A and B are shown apart, each in its own frame.
Chain A
């Protein structure tokens, strides 16, 4: 339970008086992909956003319990949020590249962080684009506007943008819901490659995607983590009736 890149203990989360998460405890394994599934409004996205304090931007929310990143509580006073969000990056549902060149999109984060004086930016851009399997396609066209890329390419560019700041954990909130099946599979392959180096968490409505891509799966229901285990076990032999009914399409 205590072994993990991120360890969550007795987490409760509130939007004002409304409690969205109830007593969540789990350990997220390093360099593995963990997927969270569950019906709309079950708290899975809220949970994901707790992990890099993205919910802090929403007024009147509060957190109880502990979220430890490498053993340190990210909700402790004095935590540097910029640094936290560099270590725990996020990819969103819709690809949201900046209206700039491919190169500038990837270089954006490192420049903001002032890394451009310390690193070889060309090298960093190349490495990040290679990690998302875009380099070969775009290497001769790095000045091209990111907005001219296909949806799938844009989403992989957004992943590269996160990678450029060298995060340790990548949170993905429905990263393929705006993509066609082939583009989805490409993103999933990229995720499998990235899992060799990064800890990845994905929230998805698409149960099949969770089954395909993840090593661990958590099932949320009405703000509770009903079941959490290896993807193999959860999808072939779930321990709870509620999980079985949900994954077989009989409830939810």
Chain B
């Protein structure tokens, strides 16, 4: 027997699949951007920047599908929250793609300049960020608010790594002013990765909203005068 809203359910499913496709495009871009930096592969960096256009196009496609579902299906309750969440989630994913492109841009700017320090924590930040992204997509598909909260809380790990990278790079700059330019490049990379984790946290917030209807910010920071992540926006 056909369910009374089988067509709508199918469309929602399709929308969810499209979000996953976008998520995996972004995930790939993030991984490749850090890999290109490590390998000093400028060709790969160029490809990532060009590939960002596909991510942007996909985002518009998903957004368009959301608008049409709202216009045509009059979604209510969880269906409505899901579509509203998808609109936000795709914005976050698209911005994560921009951050990956930003990292690739840094690779290009660095040219052949040798790295001022071996990359240890930066790949860790990327790894955790990607795990958060993947986890947020899983929580989204499973409509699992607890899982979303757990993943969002990993943002602290990334923030800690960021602080570590920041302090190390300052030390490098102090000890040898000729590294300032190269160290600043790496700082930008770390900043992009830190923002990627923040965006994954936003996605988790939207998953929680979809499931529970509660709009809450996770990891609210108190003013401390010490938050570099907030200072850079």
Binding site for B on A (CB under 8 A): 133, 136-137, 182, 185-186, 188-190, 192-193, 208, 211-212, 231-232, 235-236
Residues of B near A235 (CB, < 8 A) are 68, 71-72
- List chain B positions with a Cβ less than 8 A from chain A: 1-8, 67-68, 71-74
**Closest residue of chain B to A183, judged by CB?**
B4
Chain B residues near A182: list those with CB within 8 A.
Answer: 4
Residues of B within 8 A of A193 (CB): 2
Q: Inside 8 A of B7's CB, which chain A residues have their CB?
A: 188-189, 192, 212
CB neighbours (8 Å) of A136 from chain B are: 1
Prevailing SS type, chain A contact patch? helix
Max chain A Cβ within 10 angstroms of own Cβ: one of B3, B6, B67, B71: B71
B212 to chain A, nearest CB (A): 26
Contact of B74 among A133, A186, A188, A208 (CB under 8 A): A208
Which A residues are CB-close (under 8 A) to B6? 189, 192
Chain A nearest CB, measured from B71 CB (Å): 5
Asked whether B71 lies within 8 Å of A185 as measured between CB atoms, the reply is no
Contacts of A208 in B (CB 8 A): 74
With both beta carbons as reference points, the residue of chain B lying nearest to A236 in the complex is identified as: B71
Closest residue of chain B to A190 (Cβ to Cβ) is B2
Q: Tell me if A186 and B4 are in contact (CB < 8 A).
A: yes
Which partner residue on chain B sits nearest A235 by CB separation?
A: B71
A43–B14 CA distance with the chains assembled, in angstroms = 37
Q: Is the CB–CB distance between A185 and B68 below 8 Å?
A: no
Shortest beta-carbon distance, B31 to chain A, in Å? 36
Q: Is the CB of B2 within 8 A of A186?
A: yes
Residues of B within 8 A of A133 (CB): 1-2
B8 nearest in chain A by CB position = A212
A190 CA / B73 CA spacing, docked (Å): 16
- Give the distance to chain B from A39, nearest Cβ to Cβ, in Å: 20
Within the complex, which residue of B2, B71, B73 is in contact with A189, where a contact is CB–CB below 8 Å?
Answer: B2
Q: List 10 A-B contacts (CB under 8 A).
A: A133-B1, A137-B1, A185-B5, A186-B2, A189-B4, A189-B6, A192-B6, A235-B68, A235-B71, A235-B72
A208 to B8, CA, bound (A): 13
Of A137, A186, A192, A212, which contacts B72 at CB under 8 A? A212
- CB of A139, distance to nearest CB on chain B (Å): 12
Question: Nearest 6 CB-CB pairs, A to B?
Answer: A185-B4, A211-B72, A235-B71, A189-B2, A186-B4, A192-B7
B158: shortest Cβ distance to chain A, in Å?
Answer: 39
Closest Cβ of chain A: how far from B118's Cβ, in Å? 52
| Cross-chain contact B2 with A211 (CB below 8 angstroms) | no
Closest-by-CB residue of A relative to B67 is A236
How far does the Cβ of A84 sit from chain B's closest Cβ, in whole Å?
31
Q: Which residue of A lies closest to B73 (CB)?
A: A212
Other A-B pairs beyond A137-B1, A189-B4, 15, CB < 8 Å: A136-B1, A188-B7, A189-B2, A189-B6, A211-B71, A211-B73, A211-B74, A212-B7, A212-B72, A212-B74, A231-B72, A232-B68, A235-B68, A235-B71, A235-B72
**Inside 8 A of B5's CB, which chain A residues have their CB?**
185, 189
CA of A211 to CA of B72, assembled, Å: 4
What is the CB-to-nearest-CB distance from B161 to chain A, in angstroms, rounded to a whole number?
Answer: 44
- Which residues of chain A are near B74, meaning CB under 8 Å? 208, 211-212
